[in-house]
Structures are given as structure tokens and as C-alpha cells.
Structure 1
């Protein structure tokens, strides 16, 4: 009899377990039904398939095989198929009933652009929650204090919503939080000092909010923090010295705030050894670039632009052998460019524009064989002429030397650059002599040679043609150019921007410019151009920026787009010009 009772008990137990797994816990069923009830449109069709009592079989729902409780809800807005990715929409509100799923570990509602409402105050009931994805929605209101009760939370994604309020102090109790992503929510208030309690935090992203106040002084206690983004806020005060203790940090973005004071790191060798990406631009930082900056041996990209930094560029930069991009523009740096810059063999971009750097340029820069972009504009270089090695760098395609004191004619060395030039800015110099004749002869030579395949020689003319043929950006504004604009400019088919403003160029506008189908910007203001605006300019369908003001142009402005789309200011200062958008022409 005892054996029969035991068998009967085991049978009941097995049946109950099966029922739990195949059915749905009443609290979970009620929670999911309440969530579905708050949504009045679902373009993905997933919620329409939520039928019956077996919620563990519903699309986007995952249960624990042992307990039968719902552990994951995956209803992201972005859906991927074998062929493409598309974004679905759910319109409605986030029902608080979702917090009845007390065994939930993952809640993914990210990218549902129509989901509104607030984060439920009862969110703290989800004691087992590890990952919460509520980004890209229309949620609003403050982040509830009860989130601080989610002690197992590893990832919190709340970016790109319309949340308001401040981060509650309870967030500091999230001992096991591994990822906190709260960017683009327009949170306000201060960053709680309790963030220092998040000792397992790996990813902290608060960018594009309205946070104010200081960065917490004890932020350095986040020993395992790898990525740290506070950019695009309204933070003030100094960068805490404790950041030197972030031994695992690889990405640190503090740009576009109102931070001030000196850069406090690194203080000793071995600190922040993994830091590869650093952005401090668009702040109010002052003082010198630390001489120990070379200790950050893993740096790949660093931007210190648009601050108030002064003094010399440290020679210790030669230790940054992994550096590929260096932005130092918009400061008050002085002295000369250190010779050690030439040892940065991986450097592809160097920008030191708008500083107080003096010449001469070190010949060691000729060793930058991978350099693609060089911007030295608006310094006290007094170059007189462009160094020969600029044309010989094999990868250099973007050259910005505006306001560097270059004199005379456009240098012939640009005929034969080793790499095709895509952008060239020689504005605000003392260039004379107009657009050189060799530009036209090279263009003609190119087309003549191209008629015979496999006979393209390596002479100077042909190399120069290739470089000019790929030119996309040409800025010779604010110089002393005079004479006629050669028709050969119209053969630079890749040209997107042509700026010859503030010169003394004259004669008629070149009709052939209308053949530049890629042209987006044409600035010819403050010259001596005469005659009519060619009707052919109506073919410049990609033109977005035009300025022909303050010349000697006459006649009626050709009617039609794109010319009719531009305001009066683009044509004013031409006394003989009339027609829309200016005054009508007199009959």
C-alpha cells in the first residue's frame, strides 16, 4: 500500500511539474496580459499571437524549464531577417503590470518608438532583473528610486527617450550593475555620488542629457569600468584626480561640457594603461598638456580641441606608437611642432589648427607615411612656401594650410602630389597670379592620354592630372588672386566645394561650371565678376550653398531651381542684378 501511495505521489508531482512548464504562472500570465492590454498597435504582429494560457510558447517570451516562470521578454523594435533589418512599432503605454513577472531577468523593449508612459515605480519588484532595455521609446518622467533595489542588474539601457528628473540615490546600491546606459534621455540634476558604489560597473553611458554639477570625486573607485561617456551635458568643475585609478578604462568621453581646470592624468607611468579613445574637446580646460601624456601608451584617438590649453606640444608624444588621430585645434598652444611627431608611424590625421604654433615645420614630418589629413591652418607658421615633403607623402589627400603665410603663386609642387588630393584649403594666405595655367594643361593632357589605354605614363603631368581629377574641396578664398577664372576648373568633375571668395577675380562667370554635377557649394562673393549669371547654372541640381554677392553682375537672375531657392543675401551687392529673389527687372 505504501508503494502505491508513493507512486501516486510521484505521478501527481510529475503532472504538476508538466502543468507548470506547459502552462503559465498566474502572476506571469496576468503581467503579460496587462502589458498587451496597454498596446493598441503592434506592426510586428507578435502580440496578436499571444493566445491561450501557455505563455511560455508565446513569441518573445522565455521561461525557465525547471520552474516554469517567465525569465525573459524580448520584444525589440529592430527585427532582423536573413535579408534585412527593419524597425517595427508598438504604440501604447508601458503597463505597470509588467512588474508582476518577479522572476524576470531580461526585459527588452528597446527601439519601440511609440511606447509611452513612465517606468513603473514598482520596477523594484523585479529582484532578479539583470538586463533592462527601454531605449528609443517615448517614455517620460523621472527614473524611479526603486531601480536601486535591482541588486542583480547588469545592464540598464534607457537612452533616446524623453525621461526627465534626476538619477535617484538608490541607483548607487546596484552592486552587480555591469552596464548602465542612460544616454540621450535629457536627464537633469547631478550625477549621484553613490555611483561610486557600482563597483562592478563596466559600461557607464550618460551622454546627451542635461546633467549638471561636478563629476563625482570618487568616480575612480569603479575599478572595472571600461567605457565611460558623459559627453554632451552641462557638467562643470574639474576632472577628478581619481580617474587615474580607472585601470580598466578603454573609452572615456567627457567632451562637450563645461569642464575646467587642468588635465589631471596620467600622474604616473602605468596608470590608465588600456585607454585607447579619449575625447575632451569643447570644454574650458586650461593649463598645459601634461608632459606625462606619453604614458598613455594605448591611445589610438585623442581630441583636446576647442579648450584653453597653452604651452608646447609635449615631446613625449613619441611614446604614443598606437596613435592614429590627434586633434589639438582651437587652443592656445605655442612653440614649434616637436620633431618627435615624425615617429608616430600610424598617424593618419593630424590637426593643430587655430593655435599659436610657429615655424619652421620639422622635416621629420616627412616620415608620416600613413598621414591622410594634415590641418595646420591659422597658426603663426609664416611658411612662405609649402614644404616639398607635403607633396611627397604617399597617403596625404586632405591638406589644410589656410592662414599660414604662404606667398606667391599656387605652388607647382601640387601638380605632382604622390596621393590624389581630395580637399585643398589655401585660403587666407597671400597667393597671387590666379588659377595656374598648368591646371588646364594637365587636365587636357589627361584626357588626351586616356584615349589610348595602357599608355598612361608616370610623368609629372599625368600624376598631377590624377590628383586634380579627384579634387573634391578647393578653397582659395581670402587671397590676392586676380584675373580670369580658367575654364579648366570645370573639368574637376569630382569637385563638391569651390570657394574663391574675397579675391580680385574678374571677367565673366564661367558657364562650364554648370558641368560640375557634384557641386554642392559655390562661393564667389567679394570679387570683380561681371556680366550675367549663366542660365546653365540651373543644371547645378545638387547646389546647396551659393554666394555671388558683392560683384559686378548684371541682368536677370535665371528663373528656376536651384537659384530660386537661395535668399536675397546670395545676390545682393550687384547693382545691375534683378529678378527673383531680388526686385523684379524693369521692362
Structure 2
């Protein structure tokens, strides 16, 4: 009999709690003006609130454990009623239009483990005691892309079980609190795109040895590159780009065996890129050291032996020597950016042949000699070669004429000779063809007149002869036509007079006859 009474009592408590939570959800809906997206949250009928969309409950107690309302059309203040959901462990309101200050009503959700208020219209200063009040169970705090101001509260360091702290893209001021180094369970830390006062990364961050993702780009960081990151063995993504970091890249960074993405571009790093001993970072997918301006020495040969490498960006530096031939055999390479350095020698002979996903090769403003590799478009996906201001010779490969995806071919200021291949735009995707200041001869391919996408045609200062193809501007997108300083003859196409999109027309120093169209 006593057991039966206990069961009945528990059943009554369960029903009462369920009714209370159902009512709280209705209050939440009303606080947002009864949005249509929550139409199913209704007191009519006998439906279980645990079956409502965006709601998850504990099956035994019927208490709401999760509200996942990300990226739905809700607008208005954060409802205080959410704080009444005592069993809530996960709350996600990201990508919504909620407004107001940080909602202290969530402090009442003592079981909360995951709180995602990112990309909303919440703003103002975070409460000073936020780290004391949120509770020891919290493992994930996502506040990125909001409008929070003031300094980052040092009390966040009390959230000792926190694994993800995501604060990037706010309007915080001051410097990065050293106390965050106490969060030794952190696996994700993002502070990027925040205009902190100039300062160094805290030395205390050396204790964050469990970090997998560390993103502190565009944070006004100064001082030497933090060598302690080489002692973070779990690191997969490191992005300290667009700062004022100085010194050299510590060789130990190439021993991080789990590192996939390394972005330290747009700093003031100097010196050679040194690989000391075996190269352990074989899982690298992206290396971006660009725009440091004073990184020097040769490109490490080891970069050409990374089977997963998709992006290698070393542009705007002072690298010298030859491009390692092994770069041309990278099986996953998509983008190779080496422009504005002091590289010499030839382009890797196999470039494109062993890289089935190759799309972009950018090597402008170097001292590269030799011919353009024949196999750039062997994969059928290649889109862009920019190699201006080098010493390339030989002809433009005929294989590029069969490249259906070719969008951009910029070869100005080289020593190229021979004819421009017919069919460079057979598939109508070519937008830029610029090969001025070379030694090209023959005629301008007539097929270019049928190129529906061609916006820039720059072939000045060559030895081209014959007539200017009629109809170059029929596509309605041509903006630049520069064929000056050649051996062209015949009459100037009359159709150019009706070329409304043309912004620049240069025909000087040829053997053309007739009048320049009145339009110009």
C-alpha cells in the first residue's frame, strides 16, 4: 500500500512539473510575440510539450533539458521564463534576433552545460560575476558575433570545466585577461576580430595544453610569436593572423602532429622558416604565412611532402631560391600562392599532373624562368594562372586551350613567344586574358570574339599582326581592350563604338586604319 501511494505521489509530482514547464514554454513564446515558427507550442489539445519542435526532455522526469532554437525567426528580449527551466542542460539561441543585455536569468539553470547565444543582438558589458554565477557544470560558452562591450570579465576563469570559450567578433576593450590561462580544460578558445588594446598574449596561456582550436586573429597582439604553442600537442587549428607579432616562427611548430590549419599571415615575422629534424605536422591542410614581408630563405622541401596540403600561401614575403619540385606532386593541392617574393628557377614540371584538385597558381613578381607547365589543367578543374613580372619563356601551352574551367590567365611582363592558342575560351568562362609585354606573334584568336565572359583583354607590347577580331564587345561585358604597341593592321572595328561597357581602349602604335570610334 505504501509503495502504491509513493508511485501515485511521484506521478502527481511529475504531472505538476510537466504542467509548470509547459506553461514556462508558453510564456517564452509570448515574450517573443507568439511567432509563427512556434505555432506548435500551444495549450490547446492534450499534446505533450516534450513533443514540441525545438524541445528535448528527459524521458523519466518530463523536464525540458534542451531548447535548440538556432537560426529561426524569433525577435525580442531574452525571456526570463527560460530561467525557470531548472533541468535545462543545453540552450541554443544562435542566429536569432534576440536583444538586450546578457541574460542573468540563465544563472538559475544550475544544470546548464551548453550555452550558445552567438550571432544575436545581445550587447552591453558582460556581468562582472558571470563566471561565478553560471555554475560549475558549464562546458561550452558561445558568445561570438554579438555586441558585447567592456573588458572580458576575469571571473570567467572560475568556469573550470569549460571546454569551449567562443568570444570572437565582439566589441571588447582592454587586454586579454591572463586569468583565462586557468581554464586548463579548454579545447576551443576564440578571441578573434576584437579590437583589444595592444598587448602580448598572456604567458599563462602556456597552461592551455588541451587546446585544439586557438583563434586570436586581429586582436592587436604584439611581442614575439608565442613559442609555448609548440607545447600544445592537441592543437589542430592555430590562427594568429593580422596582428603585430615579431620574431621568427619556432621550428617546433612543425612537430605538432595534429595540426591541420596554420594561419599566421599579416604579422611582422622575420627570418628563415626552419624545419629542425623530422617534420611531424604531416596532417597540415593549410599553411598561410603570407604578408609578413620579411620571412626569407628557401621554401622548406618538407612542404612538398604533405599529402593533405590544399593551400600553401607564402606571398608578400622575401623567400628566395627555387620552388621545390615536390610542390608539383602534392596530391591534394588546390591553391598555390607565391607571388611577390624573390623565387627563381622554374615552375615545378609536374604542377597539375599529380594534383587532381588544383585550381589556383599565383606566382607573380618573382624571378622565375623556364616554361609554363603543360599539365596545369590535367585535372579539368584549373581556373587561374597569374605569373606576371617574371622571366618565363616558351609559348603559352596549347593544353590551356582545352581547359574548360579556365577563368584567369595573366602572363604580362615575361619573355613568352609563339602564338596565342585558339580556343582559350571555347567553354565561355575566361574573364581575364592579359599577356602584355612579351614576344607573342601571330594574330589575335578570332574565337575570342565569341567569348561571352571576357572582360579584360590586354595584349599590348607584343608582335601581334593581322586584324582586331570583329565582335569582341558583343558579349556586353568587355571593360578593357589594350592591344597597343603591336603590328596590327586593317580597320578599327566599327562595333567598338557601341561598346557601352568598355572603360579602357588602347590601340596606339599599330598599323591600323580608319577612325577611332566616336564613342571614345
After TM superposition, the score normalised by the length of structure 1 is 0.68
Is 1:476 equivalent to 2:476 in the alignment? no
Return closer, same or farther for 1:531/1:316 CA change in 2, 3 Å cut-off.
closer
Q: 1:254 to 1:438 in 2, by over 3 A?
A: closer
Distance 1:379 1:165, change over 3 A: same
Report Cα offsets for 1:196-220 as digits up to 9, x if no partner: 3223322222233322233321102
- 8 Å contact 1:192–1:216 — kept in the other structure? no
- 1:115 paired with 2:115, answer no
| Residue 425 (1) aligns with residue 444 (2) | no
Does 2:210 correspond to 1:200?
Answer: yes
Shift of 1:513: 3.9
Matched, 1:283 2:292: yes
Work out whether 1:322 is the aligned partner of 2:332: yes
Q: Distance in 2 between matches of 1:479 and 1:306?
A: 29
CA RMSD of aligned residues (A): 4.5
Unaligned runs of 5+ in 2: 44-48, 75-93
Q: Is contact 2:372–2:394 with CA below 8 Å preserved after alignment? A: no
Deviation of 1:179 (Å): 2.2
Which residue does 1:304 correspond to in 2? 314
- In the alignment, does 2:114 pair up with 1:103? no
Contact 1:508 1:531 in 2 (8 A): no
Q: Distance in 2 between matches of 1:318 and 1:16?
A: 70
Aligned residue for 1:210, secondary structure, equals: coil
How many residue pairs align between the two structures? 484
Shift in alpha-carbon separation, 1:88–1:255, aligned structure 2, 3 A: same
Question: How far 1:363 sits from its partner (Å)?
Answer: 6.1
CA shift for structure 1 position 63: 6.9
* 3-state SS of 1:339 partner: coil
Higher relative helix content: 1
Task: Write the distance in 2 (CA, Å) between the matches of 1:393 and 1:60.
Answer: 48
**Is residue 370 of structure 2 the alignment partner of residue 359 of structure 1?**
yes
| Distance (Å, rounded) in 2 between the aligned partners of 1:241 and 1:401 | 36
1:478, 1:75 → 2: CA distance? 61
- 2:361 counterpart SS class: strand
Gaps of 5+ in 1: 81-85, 443-463, 535-552, 554-587
Q: Deviations over 1:227-249 (max 9, x none)?
A: 22222233222222231232111
1:253 correspondence with 2:235: no
> Which secondary structure does the structure 2 equivalent of 1:278 belong to?
strand
Residues 120, 308 of structure 1: CA spacing in aligned structure 2 closer, same or farther, 3 A cutoff?
A: same
- 3-state secondary structure, aligned to 1:132: strand
3-state SS of paired residue (1:156)? strand
Alpha-carbon contact 1:395-1:418 (below 8 Å) kept: no
Residue 234 to residue 74, structure 1, CA distance change in 2 (3 Å): farther
Aligned partners of 1:21 and 1:66 also within 8 Å:
no
What residue number does 2:482 align with? Answer: 500
Cα drift, residue 256 of structure 1: 2.1
Q: Structure 1 313/15 Cα, relative in aligned 2: closer, same or farther at 3 Å? A: same
- Partners of 1:211 and 1:46 lie apart in 2 by 43
Alignment of 1:173-212 (within 5 A): 173-188=182-197, 189-212=199-222
Range that drifts further, 210-219 or 390-399: 390-399
* CA distance in 2 between partners of 1:110 and 1:475 (Å): 47
Matches of 1:44 and 1:185, distance apart in 2: 33
SS of equivalent residue, structure 1 residue 233 = coil
Post-superposition Cα deviations, 1:74-126, rounded to whole Å, max 9, x if no partner, equal 5546559xxxxx965233322445434332212222221x3220222222132
Aligned equivalents of 1:202, 1:279: Cα separation in 2: 18
Counterpart position of 2:408 = 398
Q: Is the 8 A contact 1:61 1:72 kept in 2?
A: yes
For 2:38 and 2:174, how far apart are their aligned partners in 1? Answer: 32
Per the alignment, residue 451 of structure 1 pairs with none
3-state SS of the aligned residue for 1:170? helix
Whether 2:251 is the aligned partner of 1:241: answer yes
Partner of 2:504: 523
Q: Normalising by structure 2, report the TM-score.
A: 0.76
Structure 1 residue 377: Cα displacement = 1.5
Secondary structure in structure 2 of the residue aligned to 1:236: coil
User: Match for residue 168 of structure 1?
Assistant: 177
Distance 1:42 1:310, change over 3 A: farther
Larger CA deviation: 332-341 vs 320-329: 332-341
User: 1: CA distance between counterparts of 2:242 and 2:336?
Assistant: 20
Residue of structure 2 equivalent to 1:141? 150
Q: For the residues of structure 2 that align with 1:524 and 1:353, how far apart are their CA atoms?
A: 25
